[in-house]
Amino acid sequence: MFYGLNWKRILTVAGLLGVVSGIVPMFFTPDLLLSTLPVAMMFTIYFIVQKVETKRFTHGIIGSVLAAILSYVVYFIYVYSKMSAADATTALKSALVSLPLLVAVISVFGTFIFTKTHEWAEKKRLELEAKQAAKKHADEKYAVKNDKPYVPHATKKRYRNTKKKKK
């Protein structure tokens, strides 16, 4: 199941965004993790799903969960280094109660949405390229048959009126 995955991309993107998501609450407020974590997970899914060719859904879920875990780890280290043991334990318990469901929902639904929209966009791009190729082929065929350049619109000669008006 885990063979054939692009681990380099997963670890790079999830690691970078997970650590940034865990560091940002250090500068503002510890409760900001509830906001930075979902954003980091969605960006992780987006950057991974757009670049891999196979197993997009698996790549997205693994990347988003890994970003969440790294964010939790950085957050836990920060909380234990800055707060007292009682306050840190309380903050970590509240984080462990509220965030796992959020992580699961974002991982599954976010990956599903990004995967489907990426597949839809690829399909539309291929259809457009096929139409353009068919049109180019038809234009070349018409030009060879008539030995004249193809003009897609009708042209009109416009003559200037040389007669003088009666007054």
pLDDT of residue 149: 61
Residue 40 is predicted with a pLDDT of 85
Q: What is the pTM of this model?
A: 0.66
What pLDDT is stored for residue 150 in this prediction? 60
Among the listed residues 102, 88, 6, 125, the one whose alpha carbon sits nearest the alpha carbon of residue 54: 6
Residue 113 predicted with pLDDT over 60: yes
pLDDT of the residue at 96? 76
Please, are residues 15 and 70 in contact by the beta-carbon 8 Å criterion? yes
Report, as an integer, the average pLDDT of 99-117. Answer: 84
- Examine the pLDDT at 42 and tell me if it is beyond 80: yes
What are the pLDDT digits (tens) for 82-106? 777 777 777 777 777 777 778 888 8
Across the chain, mean pLDDT equals 78
Q: What is the percent of the chain with per-residue pLDDT over 90, rounded to a whole number?
A: 5
3-state secondary structure of 77: helix
Higher per-residue pLDDT: 29 or 38? 38
CA distances from 96 to 42, 91, 112, 121 (A): 20, 9, 24, 37
Beta-carbon count within 10 A of 71 CB: 27
Residue 146 CA to residue 35 CA, distance in Å, equals: 65
pLDDT of residue 124: 92
CB 53 within 8 A of CB 3: no
